[in-house]
């Protein structure tokens, strides 16, 4: 059995986009996780979801791994991007689009523009 840090590291490296969240992308179990998963789903981003509620060691482990106290946590190409507030700001400013473009992550640009229009 691998420890939480090893499991997290392997998950982050094996997937282009990973969201550590409470619940799953189909059934988020907190508002912040729901918001980030909703943005990624709406933008058509393929991502892996990791339900931290299923494993207490993982739930604490991801906070230690990133040195970030809250969940959800988004990783793109192995790098920690941020939590709900940061992802929301990046989405509204267009920075998330730029990150996805730079890293070669597919997403629906029109959907991203619609999010900005609706929140402008």
- Binding residues for [2Fe-2S] cluster are 30
DSSP secondary structure letter of residue 23: B
Binding site, annotated residues: 30
Distance of alpha carbon 114 from alpha carbon 104, whole angstroms: 21
Cβ contacts of residue 65 below 8 Å, gap of 6+? 4, 5, 8, 9
Task: State whether residue 75 is helix, strand or coil.
Answer: strand
Specify the DSSP element, H or E, that contains 48: strand 48-51
Distances in whole angstroms, Cα of residue 7 to Cα of each of 66, 89, 99: 13, 29, 25
């Amino acid at each position: 059995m691998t420890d939480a840090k090893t499991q997290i590291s392997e998950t982050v490296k094996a997937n282009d986009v990973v969201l550590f969240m409470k619940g799953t992308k189909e059934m988020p179990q907190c508002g912040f996780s729901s918001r980030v998963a909703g943005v990624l789903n709406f933008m058509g981003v393929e991502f892996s979801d990791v339900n931290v509620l299923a494993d207490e060691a993982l739930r604490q482990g991801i906070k230690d791994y990133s040195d970030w106290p809250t969940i959800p946590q988004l990783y793109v190409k192995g790098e920690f991007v941020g939590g709900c507030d940061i992802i929301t700001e990046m989405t509204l400013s267009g920075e998330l689009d730029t990150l996805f473009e730079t890293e070669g992550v597919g997403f629906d640009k029109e959907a991203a523009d619609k999010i900005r229009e609706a929140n402008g």
